[in-house]
């Protein structure tokens, strides 16, 4: 080290390890063109943003005076992105025995009622965010409860952690217990206030969040559409075509609409910042409509299996003719794990039941850059391109004795070996495989013990 | 403590905790009659067998001088029983991209070839058994490889741990690489020698193990039948009707048989000590035949999903009219976890997709007493009845922060609370929920850290 540092300015940091991220979508382009794998790489940050990434040997001379954090034998990836999750349902994960509509009535609605108490909501939000970080998830699209203070609680906790999170208060004005209902007018006013308060504050974004067409009247959906017109860069987050009985009920409730998606479309809710959870029961026409509108689907396999909703047609969403943006969603509390790795495990199983087989790289693309594109955040996060915000995770492919036994070589050297290694990661990995999580270059979680 | 001990003889030990086991089958009898739950209980062992179980307050005065091991806040259950698993496939768990027949050719056969080397086989067997114990599995029905020394290696390792294990060398004489093939005659001779050497040595049992009708000629199946006649208390362990293409191929190979099960039946392989893995594609007639023969099915949900084989009809197997014995199987390496808890998680999901919902107690019954009955071991293991061998596990229902958050009360007091708690255990639990594993009263595994 010399006294004349090459980069004397504050905020330069560097990390040495293996790196994996995606430059393009491996559902549409050859994997060799999409996967960026640097066996011995250096990731250089400048005030929490990516300044440079490349081979360690090529870059090291230019960063002689920068302290380098090394993670030998680990794999660094962009943080995982969860495109659909409910924070108030954390405490009711794994509730027994029901399919969607009964499950909502029996478990969800009573639980969400507790979130009128802001102190309680803050406690749960804090636990929830810590679980996300522990599982390597750095960005999520999140349902709060109907109470505006439940959204405040979430945003306050996310803001204090400098997280890139999108959330919204639920809008619901019918077909639920009175204590959970708002009205078209109150939901409009409260949402508007929340948007003004939180949208683009720090790294936060707001999503207008009608629960689904069963609990929102057409008048309320129209109010949601009005908000989207007034604030064209906020999001729309809702559920769509999850369960057969749900779809049938929506048809009864909206006889004037051609189908479930149309109930949203007629209110102006189907656009390029709209994210629809599930889509298990979508028709061909609805897939085409989502493609034309550049809307996104959150594929939530552990939830779809847990509630017996069905098998999402991933290959149809990712078709060449009518491509639809797709991200992975845990959908906790109907989903059974906070881990995007476990979610990818069950995404693979759902596909296998349909005689499809997404590759390991396709799955990890959905978990990172694909999720960022689904959330229209690809300019900020999702891979290690220069200028992006440095939310990243340090993965241990040998986090358990069984993973070590399965991966005896210390680290992969070819793309084929890497594919095998990351497939074992997504089939056997869980929070134990997350060695550390960084938010804009700051250590936000580190695993203790092995 | 006084000097005049009530039970001065060696080998008396006692454990205090909450206890859960099953007295009968909750698929057929009311749960309240089947579930034995002792909130604050004492389990007393005598030389590794169960001497007594009951309320601590009622029993404690009679065991004043016996050292009592306490597990406050934990739940003690009988060890889990895995009714179908392949030890040589440990190192190829989570192999990407294929359904059954291609998966066998691409991954399984090359891997099993390594088990000609007995030293290698011993190493893998040791790792495998440690994984089982770490996951709370105390008994398993296990495929070795085709080489007799691979079975020797497994039995030696299991014997040294005093485990109740059933295993056998694979018989396969066609449709596989030459290096994996035996002949009808050699498989007969080698199996016979192994039976003589290992069956009923310590707690070990032997299973005659033709891989399946695709890799065993009718001549070899007949030899298997001959062995079962000569040794009426050994087991038959094979695969049955897992995958659509497999069933079609079996039909081609056995034009004289009425179906897949009939290929075994005509060789005398369908009896009350026969265990058939999978049965996903079984016909109604085949279910009835299995019921009449008192044969068992190993339900392997993580494997059936991973290979895309399909959804097992659990409710048909457990029908009142034609009941079939059923146990849970991990089927590692096609199964994705050694954990019977994770296997129960996916058994629930498979059932939900079929609009069924096995209760938490039904699932845990399959994992314990149901598995013991499937393996005709109910006189020895499966619950805490007096005289049985004390293989038991200490479960931590609050093994992770999320499980603790979901189960804020330290322990359940009613059957309903218990059902909820053990459901969260099977949905979120894995090896981390196994605090300790005991084999005949001896500590065989203890978790380190939390």
Mean pLDDT estimate for chain B: 96
- pLDDT tens sequence across A428-441: 999 999 999 999 99
Which H or E element spans position B19? strand B12-22
pLDDT at position B9 over 90: no
| Residue A434: alpha-carbon gap to chain centroid | 16
Q: What's residue B6's pLDDT?
A: 45
User: CB–CB of B306 and A90 under 8 A?
Assistant: no
- pLDDT tens sequence across B225-247: 999 999 999 999 999 999 999 99
User: CB–CB of A93 and B402 under 8 A?
Assistant: yes
Report yes or no: A114 at the B interface, CB cutoff 8 Å: no
DSSP assignments along B67-121, one per residue: -EEEEEEEEEEEPEEEEEEEGGGGGG-S--S--HHHHIIIIIHHHHHGGGSHHHH
Cβ atoms of residues A146 and A113 within 8 Å: no
pLDDT at position B265 over 50: yes
Q: How many CB pairs under 8 A join A and B?
A: 114
pLDDT at position A289 over 90: yes
Report yes or no: A310 at the B interface, CB cutoff 8 Å: yes
Mutate to test the interface with B, among A353, A359, A361 (most CBs of B within 10 A): A353
Report yes or no: A427 at the B interface, CB cutoff 8 Å: yes
Q: How far apart are CA B212 and CA B222, in angstroms?
A: 13
Between B91, B311, B352, which is nearest A406 by CB? Answer: B91
User: CB–CB of B406 and A310 under 8 A?
Assistant: no
Instruction: Find all residues with CB under 8 Å of A256, minimum gap 6, and list them.
Output: none
Q: How far apart are CA B129 and CA B136, in angstroms?
A: 11
pLDDT at position A1 over 70: no
**Among A223-232, A402-411, B23-32, B127-136, where is mean pLDDT lowest?**
A402-411
pLDDT at position A2 over 60: no
Mutate to test the interface with A, among B93, B96, B134 (most CBs of A within 10 A): B96
- pLDDT tens sequence across B290-347: 999 999 999 999 999 999 999 999 999 999 999 999 999 999 999 999 999 999 999 9
User: CB–CB of B354 and A308 under 8 A?
Assistant: yes
pLDDT at position B182 over 80: yes
Q: How far apart are CA B251 and CA B255, in angstroms?
A: 6
Between B306, B402, B420, which is nearest A96 by CB? Answer: B420
| Chain A residues with CB-CB distance to B97 below 8 A | 357, 359
Between A127, A348, A406, which is nearest B93 by CB? Answer: A406
At residue A411 the predicted structure's pLDDT band, cuts being 50, 70 and 90, is confident
Kindly state the percentage of chain A with pLDDT values over 70.
97
ipTM over 0.90: yes
At residue A11 the predicted structure's pLDDT band, cuts being 50, 70 and 90, is confident
Cβ atoms of residues A296 and A276 within 8 Å: yes
Kindly state the percentage of chain B with pLDDT values over 90.
95
pLDDT at position B450 over 80: no
H helix intervals, B335-429: 340-353, 360-367, 369-374, 401-406, 415-428
At residue A10 the predicted structure's pLDDT band, cuts being 50, 70 and 90, is low
Nearest-Cα distance to chain A for B17, in Å, is 25
| Chain B residues with CB-CB distance to A347 below 8 A | none
Nearest-Cα distance to chain B for A420, in Å, is 7
| Chain A residues with CB-CB distance to B130 below 8 A | 401
Report yes or no: A418 at the B interface, CB cutoff 8 Å: no
Report yes or no: A87 at the B interface, CB cutoff 8 Å: no
Nearest-Cα distance to chain B for A275, in Å, is 25
User: CB–CB of B308 and A352 under 8 A?
Assistant: yes
Between B91, B353, B423, which is nearest A405 by CB? Answer: B91
Kindly state the percentage of chain B with pLDDT values over 70.
97
Report yes or no: B405 at the A interface, CB cutoff 8 Å: yes
- pLDDT tens sequence across B35-87: 999 999 999 999 999 999 999 999 999 999 998 999 999 999 999 999 999 99
User: CB–CB of B96 and A423 under 8 A?
Assistant: yes
- pTM of the full predicted structure? 0.96
Nearest-Cα distance to chain A for B401, in Å, is 8
Restricting to B residues 326-385, those with a Cβ less than 8 Å away from any Cβ of A are 336-338, 345-346, 348-349, 351-355, 357, 359-360
Restricting to B residues 129-148, those with a Cβ less than 8 Å away from any Cβ of A are 130-131, 134
- Mean pLDDT within B418-436: 97
Handedness of CA A322, A328, A334, A336 (dihedral sign): positive
| Cross-strand bridge partners of residue B21 | B36
- pLDDT tens sequence across A34-86: 999 999 999 999 999 999 999 999 999 999 999 899 999 999 999 999 999 99
pLDDT at position A222 over 60: yes
- pLDDT tens sequence across A237-252: 999 999 999 999 999 9
Nearest-Cα distance to chain B for A195, in Å, is 31
Phi-psi category of residue A45: left, alpha or beta, with phi > 0 → left and psi -120 to 50 → alpha: beta
| Cross-strand bridge partners of residue A54 | A42
- Mean pLDDT within A385-391: 98
Q: How far apart are CA B208 and CA B189, in angstroms?
A: 12
| Chain A residues with CB-CB distance to B423 below 8 A | 94, 96
Handedness of CA B170, B173, B174, B179 (dihedral sign): positive
Kindly state the percentage of chain A with pLDDT values over 90.
95
- B243: nearest CA in chain A? A353
């Amino acid at each position: 080290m010399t006294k004349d540092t090459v980069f004397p300015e504050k905020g330069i940091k560097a990390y040495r390890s293996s790196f994996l991220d995606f430059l393009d979508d491996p559902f549409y382009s050859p994997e060799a063109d999409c996967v960026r794998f640097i066996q011995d790489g250096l990731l250089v940050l400048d005030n929490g943003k990516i300044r440079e990434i490349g081979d360690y040997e090529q870059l090291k001379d230019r960063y002689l005076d920068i302290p380098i954090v090394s993670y030998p034998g680990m794999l660094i990836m962009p943080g995982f992105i969860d495109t659909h999750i409910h924070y108030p349902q954390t405490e009711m994960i794994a509730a027994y025995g029901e399919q969607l509509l009964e499950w909502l009535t029996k478990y969800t609605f009573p639980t969400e009622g507790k979130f009128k108490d802001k102190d309680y909501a803050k406690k749960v939000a804090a636990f929830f965010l810590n679980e996300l970080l522990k599982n390597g998830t750095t960005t999520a699209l999140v349902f709060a409860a109907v109470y505006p203070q439940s959204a405040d609680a979430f945003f306050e906790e996310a803001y204090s952690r400098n997280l890139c999170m999108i959330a919204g208060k639920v809008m619901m004005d019918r077909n639920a217990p009175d204590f959970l209902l708002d009205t078209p007018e109150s939901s409009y006013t409260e949402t508007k206030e929340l948007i003004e308060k939180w949208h683009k504050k720090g790294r936060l974004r707001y999503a207008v969040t009608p629960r689904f067409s069963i609990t929102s009247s057409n008048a309320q959906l129209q109010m949601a559409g009005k908000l989207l017109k007034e604030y064209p860069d906020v999001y729309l987050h809702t559920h769509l075509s999850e369960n057969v009985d749900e779809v049938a009920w929506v048809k009864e409730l909206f006889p004037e609409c051609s189908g479930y998606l149309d109930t949203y479309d007629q209110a102006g809710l189907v656009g390029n910042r709209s994210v629809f959870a599930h889509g298990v029961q979508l028709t061909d026409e609805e897939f085409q409509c989502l493609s034309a509108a550049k809307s996104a689907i959150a594929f939530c396999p552990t939830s779809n299996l847990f509630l017996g909703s069905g098998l999402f047609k991933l290959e149809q969403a990712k078709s060449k003719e009518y491509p639809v943006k797709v991200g992975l969603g845990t959908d906790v509390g109907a989903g059974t794990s906070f881990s995007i790795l476990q979610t990818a495990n069950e995404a693979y199983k759902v596909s296998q039941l349909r005689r499809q087989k997404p590759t390991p790289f396709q799955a990890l693309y959905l978990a990172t850059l694909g999720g960022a594109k689904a959330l229209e955040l690809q300019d900020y996060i999702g891979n290690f391109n220069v200028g992006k915000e440095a939310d990243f995770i340090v993965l241990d492919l040998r986090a358990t004795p069984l993973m070590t036994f399965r991966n005896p070589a210390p680290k992969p050297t070819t793309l084929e070996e890497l594919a095998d290694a990351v497939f074992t990661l997504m089939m056997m990995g869980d929070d134990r495989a997350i060695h550390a999580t960084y938010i804009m270059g700051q250590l936000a979680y580190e695993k203790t013990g092995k």
